[in-house]
Amino acid sequence: MALEKVRSTTVLGVVHNGQVALGADGQASMGNTIAKSNVKKIRKLLDGKIVTGFAGSTADAFTLLERFEEKLNAYSQNMKRAAIELAKDWRTDRYLRRLEAMMVVANKDELLIISGTGDVLEPDNQIAAIGSGSMYAQAAATALKKHAPHLTAEEMVREGLSIAADICVFTNHNLIIEKPAV
């Protein structure tokens, strides 16, 4: 019998009215079982100038987070260039290719999704969502941007994640939301 990996779930980022916020729930699951309810899936890098969130295998995500930080240092803290270089390595390196995680990274201006297939995506609508509850969170944030533009990016992330937690059994209400330092 193969051991199941611990997986972390829903991450949501929003850029709205010049603000950026990135948040995640706290649930980690092993198969259909909640392994932990207060995992911290949001991390700050470069004195808070970059905020990252991860979904997928927790150990794999930490490996990628370390590699991303190395790329940031190697490329003069240029987030987009570091993301592209990480995605290249992730796609071509035999060890990294086996890692099962995704990341959302944000600075004060933009959001990027980095996937294990070598993709670096800039979301068209300035909403980035990954993890098992991502489609619920993204749908909620999209509706909020359209119908409640007076809300802040942080409020949209909080409400989007809360709606996802109400619907998705792999997402909980233990939310952590961060904003990149200006």
Residue 92 marked ligand-binding:
no
Do the annotations mark residue 165 as ligand-binding? yes
Q: How far is Cα 32 from Cα 17, in angstroms, rounded to an integer?
A: 38
Give the whole-angstrom CA distance, residue 70 versus residue 9.
24
Active-site residue numbers?
9
> Which residues in 142-154 are b (16+ Cβ under 10 Å) and which e?
bebbeeeeebebb
Tell me the C-alpha to C-alpha distance, in Å, between residue 63 and each of 4, 44, 123, 128: 18, 15, 24, 21
∠ CA(132), CA(46), CA(56), 5° rounding?
Answer: 15
Residue with tokens 């980035």: 128
The annotation status of 168 as a binding-site residue, yes or no, is yes
Q: Which DSSP string corresponds to 22-42? A: EEE---EEETTEEEES----E
Known binding-site positions for Na(+):
165, 168, 171
Known binding-site positions:
165, 168, 171
